[in-house]
Structure 1
């Protein structure tokens, strides 16, 4: 499913009387293509989460359109409901929103609301848990509370609850926030696995630029409610002068290329370098000067 944001702006209407309402995002133009991974980055308050909620159909633009396969998702209630079923958004700290005393209820809630049969629900839950490498049978799901799990497992359960309904688009808002390094690593590995096995469209909001640069097909940089740059990671990090004022931390693998140039070490001008590649170039440079 192709999703487009066409000149979208949004402003929240909870400002105190007398204060000017400011747009959280403004003039957004973005195309989300099927089976691709998109990264959205920016400083705090840049509008990243607001954009995610617009793309999920959970916020209606104050101006502009959200299209799904060329059709306005807000044409009818039915069209909006159908779109929302095809998109799953996992918010930041999703485990804070757990409402049930059992894992089974957390995972089955969405399917039950859609009228799925008991057998279908159990089949979908089992398949999703297997995909995520979580070993729970139906009995243990019924009798175990999500609050008994560690932080990494709770985050995986939150993602499982989103995937169980088989969405076409998965949106992850800071998926590794508040997790330790081991749990974070598992989340990033899972994202790669989901791409390979399900061919999902995945949209990731994250401050972990080092990860995004190596993972995403398309990178979106936001600043003060606007998209200021978008392109492939190679395209984005080929313009260091344009990115410096945005206050974003550069990934180490992008800095390597520029450090090599500063030392006069020739390379193919790629802005993204693995450490092993840089080490080979440095060794060759020293050998040439012996």
Structure 2
């Protein structure tokens, strides 16, 4: 890595970072790297239907001040090639392949919504790869989801400027105002924006999320295999993946913290972005307790 590359990593934002590519196992992964060149990388696992440019710059840029942050498109999403799998296990395998292609031996994971399911699968199967885990607006295997009903209701809101406004935010004026600000931030990048691949992504992703929640895990095998420190975050009024999921995850983990954000829906991390970033920084920077 040249000094120029390091400087670019240090100064780049989600809006300005070049989209890079790495190829392996028949997939060409698109990604952006922000932040310093050294430190434990924080890899972002995106929500249902989302690509790199669906992340909130207010979250990503702030997290990248002190650590490397990697936003990427998993197989078939955005500018990544390959086919989007219809199950979480295969999505996790593809994400691990991407992490290994970048040469990382240890990472932190931030999984949002469907990305949180993938993060659980990775942490359970690859204990040496994952140092710490942040699960946001997600569900355990066998958890509660209302994906199709909430999507149908959101797309019926023809008065909304973007389906994410009713999907991610509550009906309160404060939440709606925060939602409009979030939508504005996601459109700040003008050039080299990521692509939306439509039903080729959303159909298999919907099947993966619905199947994950419809598959019983009475022994909580996935969660009990996760020994890493975990920060669990949810909005108080998440209609897609209710906050009861967050508490269910928290109860079964051996080393977890739980944060519920007020008057917020599925996009709680975007509505309360400053508080979320503060919580994540504190969590990731905390040293392990000593006996």
TM-score, normalised by the number of residues in structure 1 = 0.26
Higher CA-based Rg: 1
TM-score, normalised by the number of residues in structure 2 = 0.26
